[in-house]
Copies of this chain bind each other. A is one copy, B any other.
Amino acid sequence: MTIADPAGAALASLTGARALVARTSTAERVADAVRNEVVEGRLRPGGRLPEQALSHALGVSRNTVREALSQLVAERVLVREPNRGVFVAVPDAEAVRDVYRARLLIEPAAVREGERADDPEAVGRLRAAVREGREAAARDDWPGVAGANQHFHRALVGLAGSARLDQQMGLLLAEMRLVFHRMTSVREFHEPYLDGNDAITRLVESGERERAAAEVASYLRTAEAQILAAFANL
């Protein structure tokens, strides 16, 4: 890379842009559309997704629909029952316990030992999620608060600095959204965490990672108990 080749550096910096050039495949877009319908709650847990209906509704072939559905089954957003079809997953109490066992391991550890726990950018995402939640609450947008809450926990795991962990947490949180759809009173559930998240963020910002991790664990345990209680009388 010499001065005689001034474009070299610029070209090298473009290699990463390949992903932007290649537009997403149809199957991927179908998967995104269906996933959205599910996590937004427009498709109820337990609801059925007939291939032909989707094919017609989205204007793509049944094979493409099939490919998209398989992907969502792998993500645990949908469940496939052989020869019967795919359904929106209906998480049960055991699923909740399982997810929280995983979260209780990952999230506090990410706060306590995360390599990026003092990286201003990563910590800034915590702060941003807190602000997002407060703003949503200010305009009585409780689904918005719920979304901000998810962003907060995503940011917590982001402190670990592992893309694979981030992705896994995305799946766990998508599953949690299904859980919330089985519950009433979204507001009562999410509102108390506004202050909690703020407190955790402050602890992280001031470097008190051990205490922050303990807070995270405590909040997770509280949330799990609350959800399981709501499931019990259902």
Contacts and interface: CB of A to CB of B under 8 A. Distances in A.
Interface of A: 22, 25, 27, 63, 66-67, 70-71, 74, 76, 82-83, 98-99, 101-102, 104-106, 108-110, 113-115, 160-165, 168, 171-172
A26 to B, nearest CB: 11
Closest 8 CB pairs of A and B: A101-B162, A22-B82, A102-B162, A105-B109, A109-B109, A102-B165, A102-B164, A168-B168
Contacts of A66: 67
Contacts of A101: 115, 160-162, 165
Given A63-B63, A70-B70, A105 B99 contact: no
Copies of this chain, tallied across the complex: 2
A105 B63 contact: no
Contacts of A168: 102, 168
Q: Counting chain B CB atoms within 10 Å of each CB, which of A27, A70, A83, A115 scores highest?
A: A70
Contact of A105 (B83, B106, B171): B106
A164 B109 contact: no
Which of A67, A102, A160 is most buried by chain B, counting CB atoms within 10 A of its CB? A102
A21 to B, nearest CB: 9
